[in-house]
Structure 1
Amino acid sequence: MTEKPWGGGLPPQTALMTGRAVFTEAYAVIPRGCQTDIVTSFLPGWTGMRMWLLARPMSGFSETFSHYLVELEAGGGSDAPEVDTAAQSILYVVDGTLSLTVGGATHAMAAGGYAYVPAGSDWSLTTDKGARFHWIRKRWIGAPGIEKPTPLVTNEAEVVPTPMPDTEGRWATTRFVDPADLRHDCHVTIVTFEPGGLIPFEETHVMEHGLFVLEGKAAYRLNRDWVEVEAGDYMWLRAFCPQACYAGGPGRFRYLLYKDVNRHAALGGVLGQR
């Protein structure tokens, strides 16, 4: 596997205890330097696996999802990765190769690979030479007349990014599923800014976000603050947290983005339960 800009090791004992990590009432930033060996987690039913648990349901923040950054050693994997039959999964490979079996079919996934695994699926995941991947989980919320999505395995190289209107291509989104497909109650996309690209207003909306920076660096507006972020950093944004972005370069700025969509707001408790 190639060198990674995050995860593993420890700073030297001579390092200063100053960094960019912050947790506020509206957002959190987990810099890449926080993803060290001493904050990894492990899961039952897996071999050769460790992960950084970047987001989990908790009041006020990632109420709808969890986000793991997973490392698998050569030969590692699981025959039963998911223990919650209501949970759907989205996988995105950043390095190495994975073999994913879902819906009776086996798929080879390389860097840039994306997979959607419907809730209640019988699936498994293995690697021959090792891999790193993101694993985002959310309980699927049904709706009258709406069927569960079907499994989907693709690669970002096969998806043409959609430029945002009036941006001359400086801001584009790689959408792995059709935004109008109401079977999906969350979207995981890749957002790309060319140098000089920006979000030109403070977005303030109901969707909560998890953002993992894949490439480059930028200044990000979070609530009242501007923060600098770079490859390997992670951000949580709670619902209605104002946000904007300026990608000053020198290279492009890219991040993996989660947001919840296409469902009613729950009026107390969990949507669909009485």
Structure 2
Amino acid sequence: MTDRTYATPPAGLPPQTQPLTDRAVFTTAYAVIPKGVMRDIVTSYLPFWDKTRAWIISRPLSGFAETFAQYIMEVAPSGGSEKPEPDATAQAVLFVVSGTFSLTIAGQTHAMAPGGYAYIPPATSWSVKNDSDVPATFHWIRKAYETVDGIDTPEPFVTSDAAVEPIEMPDTNGAWATTRFVDPTDLRHDMHVNIVSFQPGAVIPFAETHVMEHGLYVLEGKAVYRLNADWVEVEAGDYMWLRAFCPQACYASGPGPFRYLLYKDVNRHPKLTRP
């Protein structure tokens, strides 16, 4: 689908001689989970997933993500699941970062490869099977769908990074662009999972402060990112969570493009009572 390469967890274990200092940060406003801590011993195994492990990098939790969960799934050859989703209210986005597998949604099978993207509505049957001889790795983002009377549930679709033309941000001459897999005005969707790209030296030129919660996984490159009152250096394979209204900005500091997979909750009224 694309000739790009995307970051994956390093797995394994670092040597006993490695210094313990790292870039991992967890605050009430943001978190940084650097690639160096995504190791074998922090993986999870999930019901009805065969030969599969997951790095769960965000989940609904007091003082952490409120609207979504995000996994990095690693499916070994002949692995997968016929019953992947236990929650009928959950919708999903899958984004492939390495390997290949078959994805069946509502009886239709799709060949998934790096850069492949799938949206799966709630209460929809789907399955994954790795028919190759190498592991397949993909992001699985889950959010409980918020129904609205008079608005239909979205339909499933499959596309890819390469198939969607990035949209340049205004007045940036293409230095900052967003690959939008869903029309922002389509109110059926209550979450967007996009890819944001910066050319070397490009910036977010103001401190964005908004109601959307964010999950950002760095697919390529490096940058210095403003999170609340702090500047942190991030690179391919790192993950960031930003609470709603956490100020954010960045500048791409590496020799190549800086790109990340971005989750945000959209198109719904804020809830006035908490569960």
Q: TM-score range by the shorter chain?
A: over 0.9
Alignment of 1:158-177 (within 5 A): 158-177=163-182
1:27 aligns with 2:55: no
Aligned residue among 150, 153, 157 for 2:158: 153
Alignment of 1:243-258 (within 5 A): 243-258=248-263
1:199 aligns with 2:204: yes
Give the corresponding residue for 1:190: 195
Give the corresponding residue for 1:264: 269
- Give the deviation of 1:3 after TM superposition: 9.7
Which whole-Å deviations, capped at 9, do the CAs of 1:78-134 have from their partners, x for residues lacking one? 001000000001000001112111122111111100000000001111111231000
Aligned residue among 89, 93, 97 for 2:92: 89
Stretch deviating more after TM superposition (110-119 or 98-107): 98-107
TM-score normalized by structure 1? 0.96
Which whole-Å deviations, capped at 9, do the CAs of 1:197-224 have from their partners, x for residues lacking one? 1100000000000000000000000000
For the 8 Å contact 1:194–1:249, the answer to whether it is kept is no
1:38 aligns with 2:50: no
Distance 1:34 1:212 in 2: 14
Which whole-Å deviations, capped at 9, do the CAs of 1:162-202 have from their partners, x for residues lacking one? 00000110000000111110000000000000001110000
TM-score normalized by structure 2? 0.96
Alignment of 1:109-128 (within 5 A): 109-128=112-131
1:235 aligns with 2:240: yes
Which whole-Å deviations, capped at 9, do the CAs of 1:23-77 have from their partners, x for residues lacking one? 1120000000010011000101011100100000012321000000010001110
Aligned residue among 55, 71, 82 for 2:74: 71
- Give the deviation of 1:248 after TM superposition: 2.1
1:216 aligns with 2:221: yes
Kindly, what percent of the aligned residue pairs are identical? Answer: 65
SS in 1 for 2:162: helix
Distance 1:87 1:6 in 2: 25
Distance 2:237 2:6 in 1: 12
Which whole-Å deviations, capped at 9, do the CAs of 1:112-163 have from their partners, x for residues lacking one? 0000000000111111123100000000001121111000101111100000
Give the corresponding residue for 1:61: 64
Runs of 4+ in 1 over 3 A off after TM superposition: 2-5
**Structure 1: which 5+ residue stretches go unaligned?**
none
SS in 2 for 1:33: helix
Give the corresponding residue for 2:230: 225
SS in 1 for 2:200: coil
SS in 1 for 2:241: strand
SS in 2 for 1:265: coil
For the 8 Å contact 2:7–2:220, the answer to whether it is kept is no
The residue identity in structure 2 corresponding to 1:153 is V
